[in-house]
Chains A and B, each alone.
Chain A
């Protein structure tokens, strides 16, 4: 194993000046505190759902204008009133169904058993 030589201090380059770390520490600490604060706020105070009787406001971003999204369809609990212009949907109302409108015409053949309206005279 080759002997490791001791470095000659006279051949070393002069140490360059190091940046002051305190500025970066301050920036990181401030940013971390802000992120933690926002996270705690979101956990402790969840956004409240929009009630049917109040318009929903879009989140406001800088350089944007406030938008009002009109509520068009609502389902109401007992005692609630719909907002102006909203259409109330009944959850129990019949839903669209599939109907076959082309029933194949049968071959007209003598069939003994027959369902008819009452009082219909069967030939």
Chain B
């Protein structure tokens, strides 16, 4: 083929060559109240892979320590303890709060990080009558020297929760740009990149049986082209549960009621372009319920979605079937 007086050689993708399943080099640690893992397709470079994985785990852990509400020394805890309405925060917390604003818009308001008091009430650690009574208005603007300035109504406190995990997974994968095939697992929220001709197998956890998989995704990139990136995240009501008398509460708060969502969804998994978006949409589907949840996931144009209901049904959007292992 001749173009602009210069010969351009085109290559044709070999037909019928199945993608190669990746056997990764993996490293894991504990962070954010759960696990934090890095998986790399390293082939013969295991030593370099372990070095890079360790470096990225350490970096993500430092970010996570700033965003955790469970650590008294975290920047988020300092913000929550600050009585002022206007507070300047550092670049990492600022970026995560900007991402949380986007999450609120993406979810139609169903993902709201300003529900810490309602979450504590669900755990039995705060008075449920006070949860949701105060306004939850807040905003954020860029400040000087990469800082950000938070404006909020009196008493607003934040719980970044899954938003931080999805955001950290995406940021961690960005740090591994030298590895065409890599996965960051931030406590179940995945940021995945796959090199051409390779394949990641990703199990969707079945919450009813330890170690079982509800489905197995095959995420592969075409033989020719650029690496492909996905986000895969799961949210649900079956892990964080607390019994108060004869009532069982879970941790996913519906901002419309400031109480644990009344939903028929036990667990939702979403596959889309980023870990943060997948986390936000999965949580939104759980809070919205199976009917409205499936409708919003279809409108969002996700690449795959699997919902397990309280009735034991496994529902999926049709495009998911193309990702499922045979």
Residue of A95, A120, A122 with most chain B CB atoms under a 10 A cut-off: A120
Q: What are 11 A-to-B residue pairs whose CB atoms are below 8 Å?
A: A94-B296, A99-B294, A107-B325, A113-B202, A113-B203, A114-B204, A115-B205, A115-B233, A119-B34, A122-B35, A122-B205
Closest to A97 in B: B298
**B201 engages A111 (CB within 8 Å):** yes
**B24 engages A103 (CB within 8 Å):** no
* Chain A residues numbered 66-123 whose CB sits less than 8 Å from any CB in chain B: 94-95, 97-104, 106-109, 111-120, 122-123
Chain B nearest CB, measured from A113 CB (Å): 5
Residues in chain B near residue A112, CB distance under 8 A:
24, 26, 39, 201
Interface of A with B (CB < 8 Å)?
94-95, 97-104, 106-109, 111-120, 122-123
Chain B nearest CB, measured from A94 CB (Å): 4
Known: A108-B212, A109-B216. A118 touches B325 (CB 8 A): no
Pick from B32, B267, B318: contact of A98, CB under 8 Å: B318
B45 close to chain A: CB less than 8 A: no
B295 close to chain A: CB less than 8 A: yes
Closest to B298 in A: A97
Q: How far is the CA of A95 from the CA of B294 in the complex (A)?
A: 11
Residues in chain B near residue A101, CB distance under 8 A:
313-316
Chain A nearest CB, measured from B213 CB (Å): 5
Pick from A98, A99, A104, A117: contact of B188, CB under 8 Å: A117
B142 close to chain A: CB less than 8 A: no
Residues in chain A near residue B212, CB distance under 8 A:
108
Pick from B161, B239, B294: contact of A120, CB under 8 Å: B239
Known: A111-B213, A113-B183. A103 touches B324 (CB 8 A): yes
**B298 engages A111 (CB within 8 Å):** no
Interface of B with A (CB < 8 Å)?
24, 26, 32-35, 39, 161-162, 165, 183, 185, 187-190, 192, 200-205, 207, 210-216, 232-236, 238-240, 267, 269, 292, 294-296, 298-299, 306, 313-318, 320-321, 324-326
Q: How far is the CA of A99 from the CA of B201 in the complex (A)?
A: 23
Chain A nearest CB, measured from B114 CB (Å): 19
Chain B nearest CB, measured from A114 CB (Å): 5
Chain B nearest CB, measured from A112 CB (Å): 6
**B205 engages A114 (CB within 8 Å):** yes
Pick from B210, B238, B321: contact of A117, CB under 8 Å: B238
Known: A111-B213, A115-B188, A119-B34. A99 touches B239 (CB 8 A): no
Residues in chain A near residue B185, CB distance under 8 A:
113-115
Residues in chain B near residue A103, CB distance under 8 A:
214-215, 306, 314-316, 320-321, 324
Chain B nearest CB, measured from A85 CB (Å): 27
Residues in chain B near residue A122, CB distance under 8 A:
35, 205
Pick from B33, B211, B316: contact of A123, CB under 8 Å: B211
**A113 engages B39 (CB within 8 Å):** yes
Q: How far is the CA of A97 from the CA of B211 in the complex (A)?
A: 32
Residue of A101, A108, A111 with most chain B CB atoms under a 10 A cut-off: A111
**B207 engages A114 (CB within 8 Å):** no
Q: How far is the CA of A29 from the CA of B162 in the complex (A)?
A: 84
Chain A nearest CB, measured from B27 CB (Å): 12
Chain B nearest CB, measured from A111 CB (Å): 4
Pick from B183, B216, B316: contact of A99, CB under 8 Å: B316
Chain A nearest CB, measured from B250 CB (Å): 10
Residue of A94, A101, A114, A122 with most chain B CB atoms under a 10 A cut-off: A114
**B213 engages A108 (CB within 8 Å):** yes
**A119 engages B240 (CB within 8 Å):** yes
Closest to A109 in B: B216
Q: Top 10 A-B pairs ranked by shortest CB distance?
A: A94-B295, A116-B188, A111-B203, A116-B205, A106-B216, A117-B236, A117-B239, A100-B316, A103-B314, A114-B203
Q: How far is the CA of A122 from the CA of B269 in the complex (A)?
A: 17
Residue of A107, A122, A123 with most chain B CB atoms under a 10 A cut-off: A122
